[in-house]
Amino acid sequence: MMDAVRHEWAFSRGATLAAYTYGLLAAAIMGHFLLGIPIQLSDSFGNMLALRASWTDLVIGQFYQQAYLRPFLWAELKLVYDLSQGSYFEWFRGAHVAQVFALVLLFLAWVRPRTWKDAAIVPLALAALLGIHTFEGAIMEAFPVNTFLTILLCCLAAANLAFAAPRWWVDVAAALLFVVAALTVESGLLVWVIVVGAALVGARGVSRAGLGALTALLAGYFVLRFAVLDVGTPDLLERSSGFGFRVLDTDELVARFGGAPWVFYAYNVVTSFLSVLFGEPRGGVFRLVRGLTTGSVPPALVVSVAASTLGTGLVAAYVWQRRAAWVGRRFTRDDQVVALFLIVLAANAVISYPYTKDVIMSPAGVFYAAALFAAARGLTLGGIGGRGALASAMAAVFCLGLGTAWAVRDVGMHLNLRLSALRAGNDWGYADDQFARQGQVLEGEAERLFRHLQHDALIAHPPPPQLWLQDLRLFDVN
Amino acid sequence: MRAGTLLALAAVPILVATVALGWIAAGERMGLTPFSDGGPRNSAEAAAMADAAALVQLLRRGENPLWAHPIRPELISSRIQRATTPEAAVASRRLAVVRLLEREGVIADDRTRRELACLAADLDLPEMVAHLAPQGAACTPGEALERVIARTQ
């Protein structure tokens, strides 16, 4: 018996190799589904037209926008656009696939699967990483590079740096990472939260001097944004947002919250927080509760909420089991991962205050998957159900349910990618008609780019056939 | 039961899902269509499904859109299982599909437009009738639809 237990916990190169092999397989499968999607008309064509501008005009111009400060977002798009030399599909879709591989590898490098027990948990963690609803916006769309996914890479890179052995170059890398992330999308500010949060729970890859430099850069960001450039922040009129049981448009938001926007902002923070933990609400809308009140609850929604809630239950059980050590600030590496998830979740929810959108919470979603891994690795049997035959049986049912729910969500994400391919193809097929009805006329270089991308979408890289699995109500395909 | 065994239980359904997704990906890379009916089998089916990418691709490969193609009963109705691509486009009830065929040069002459307008009238699609025959089409009610249905029987 003791031998068996020792075997389960023993470090093994084979286990690490198996975990990484599985991770690469999962990334390759998702990559295949991604390559089925043509470059999207709605999200990408307008941006690609803008990318014809010079580097100076494009990037410098971003410092003088209202509400958003995202020069590196455009720099990233411009870089891939220039490198592509007209092979747009190959480069932009290739970049998206490369990002998925990088995400999985950075995730595994951070959570460090070392034993066969770890390797057994990796499928669950990766299903949560790639199947959670907050990841949908990072994979389903591209502009034509998905910069939300870039932020996820920055966040995981920051976590790896924070948990690394202290070196001078770790400080430099952390500072560079922060600058790139913060000037790509606002949620990139979470890089600071991750590094400082990790230090608070004892992960000291970045030195005190490095933390000081990062904090100075954070202060510099706010000075630049608000005092120097006067970029400001999005206001209530910026976009529609979920509230209660439906999405309110900007006029409704102003009518309802114009006098007290803080109520709306507080709602956004709380619902964003809950969304990661319980899979509900989504984008600020309580879909399951609405379904219960109307007597029509889609099975996919129940599965989605069950997966998140069971996973949260596992993390909560771990925290409860480790409470004495946490109070005494005796953190193991798994404790640090779980604690950092809680810190990132809170900070990410606060950043989401202007409007709720699942993808804004995608960094917290990634850290949720890591926390799930760490909790599953660190939890003892007593934490899941106690000892005895009945407790073991209940724990077995719990684990099977948890795995099944996440498997369904993971498959659902892939099926959504396939549906997205059909929609992207149809958008290009009907684009001429749509432009004609809107009175839009494309000329010169704009028309050449349009025809090139349309040919890519309809002839060179047409969407693959739809799958009959998409018709099953078990999967959240929409 | 040990914790490792319990966690392996959680991995089982996920591994099954990964195998299924891997099967789809590998099959498609080899030119097969696992877990799929293979998509539209001809341009009439593509029109019936409003699948623009497949429709354009099949037409540009040289498929004859004016031939009466077989159509699976679940796509339009069990009564219409053979139709030309423009007829299937009308039966899809989506004007955008008809417009796509116009741009591809499939619906070119006035006679075809009138016949399709009559089919649209039989299917109670006034917007499509107005588009295809703005001056009006002299139709005998039911005749165009019966002609299409007759091909199935």
Please tell me the distance from the alpha carbon of residue A19 to that of residue A114, in angstroms, as a whole number: 9
Whether chain A has a CB inside 8 Å of the CB on B27: the answer is no
Query: B 99-138 residues with CB below 8 A of A?
Result: 99-100, 103
B58 vs A contacts (CB less than 8 Å): none
- In chain B, which residue's Cα lies nearest the Cα of A380? B3
Query: According to the model, what pLDDT value does residue A154 have?
Result: 98
Query: According to the model, what pLDDT value does residue A230 have?
Result: 83
Please tell me the distance from the alpha carbon of residue A66 to that of residue A194, in angstroms, as a whole number: 27
Q: How many CB pairs under 8 A join A and B?
A: 147
Task: Please name the member of A402, A428, A463 whose beta carbon is closest to the beta carbon of B10.
Answer: A402
Whether chain B has a CB inside 8 Å of the CB on A196: the answer is no
Query: According to the model, what pLDDT value does residue B38 have?
Result: 86
Tokens encoding A459: 């002839």
CB contact under 8 A, B7 and A124: yes
CB contact under 8 A, A430 and B4: no
In this predicted structure, the answer to whether residue B151 has a pLDDT above a threshold of 80 is yes
Whether chain B has a CB inside 8 Å of the CB on A240: the answer is no
Q: Are B128 and B144 in contact (CB under 8 A)?
A: no
What secondary structure, in 3-state letters, does B67-118 show?
Answer: CCEECCCCCCECCECEECHHHHHHHCCCHHHHHHHHHCCCCCCHHHHHHHHH
Average pLDDT on A280-309 reads: 93
The mean-pLDDT minimum among A182-186, A214-218, A384-388, B74-78 falls in A384-388
Please tell me the distance from the alpha carbon of residue A98 to that of residue A75, in angstroms, as a whole number: 18
CB contact under 8 A, B52 and A428: yes
Mean pLDDT comparison of A97-111, A284-298, A431-445, B126-140, highest-scoring range? A97-111
Task: Please name the member of B1, B39, B103 whose beta carbon is closest to the beta carbon of A465.
Answer: B39
Tokens encoding A48: 């690609």
Please tell me the distance from the alpha carbon of residue A277 to that of residue A341, in angstroms, as a whole number: 11
Task: Please name the member of A33, A123, A429 whose beta carbon is closest to the beta carbon of B55.
Answer: A429
Segment A192-220, tens digit of pLDDT: 999 999 999 999 999 999 999 999 999 99
Segment B95-129, tens digit of pLDDT: 999 999 999 999 988 899 999 999 999 999 999 99
Return mean pLDDT, chain A.
92
Give, as one character, the DSSP assignment of residue A11.
B
A276 closest CA partner among A183, A343, A200: A343
Distance from CA of A96 to the nearest CA of B (A): 17
CB contact under 8 A, A121 and B33: no
Under the banding of pLDDT at 50, 70 and 90, the label for residue B2 is low
Whether chain A has a CB inside 8 Å of the CB on B61: the answer is no
Distance from CA of A440 to the nearest CA of B (A): 16
CB contact under 8 A, B100 and A32: no
Please tell me the distance from the alpha carbon of residue B8 to that of residue A456, in angstroms, as a whole number: 43
> Which residue is associated with the tokens 């649209």?
B120
In this predicted structure, the answer to whether residue A327 has a pLDDT above a threshold of 60 is yes
In this predicted structure, the answer to whether residue A2 has a pLDDT above a threshold of 70 is no
Whether chain B has a CB inside 8 Å of the CB on A309: the answer is no
In this predicted structure, the answer to whether residue B75 has a pLDDT above a threshold of 80 is yes
Residues in Cβ contact with A229 at an 8 Å cutoff, skipping those fewer than 6 apart = A63, A64, A69
CB contact under 8 A, B6 and A381: yes
Q: Specify which residues A243 forms β-bridges with.
A: A246
- In chain B, which residue's Cα lies nearest the Cα of A34? B25
Whether chain A has a CB inside 8 Å of the CB on B30: the answer is no
CB contact under 8 A, B15 and A123: yes
A122 vs B contacts (CB less than 8 Å): 11
ipTM of the complex: 0.92
Task: Please name the member of A29, A120, A408 whose beta carbon is closest to the beta carbon of B4.
Answer: A120
State pTM to two decimals: 0.93
- In chain A, which residue's Cα lies nearest the Cα of B15? A123
Under the banding of pLDDT at 50, 70 and 90, the label for residue B36 is very high
Strand B69-70 vs strand A241-243: parallel, antiparallel, or unpaired?
unpaired
Whether chain A has a CB inside 8 Å of the CB on B36: the answer is yes
In this predicted structure, the answer to whether residue A384 has a pLDDT above a threshold of 60 is no
Query: According to the model, what pLDDT value does residue A63 have?
Result: 84
Segment A135-172, tens digit of pLDDT: 999 999 889 999 999 999 999 999 999 999 999 999 99
Tokens encoding B75: 């796509």
Residue A248 host element (H or E): strand A246-248
Q: How far is CA A26 from CA A19, A150, A377, B90, B94, in A?
A: 11, 19, 20, 42, 38
HSE toward the beta carbon, residue A413, CA cutoff 13 A: 31
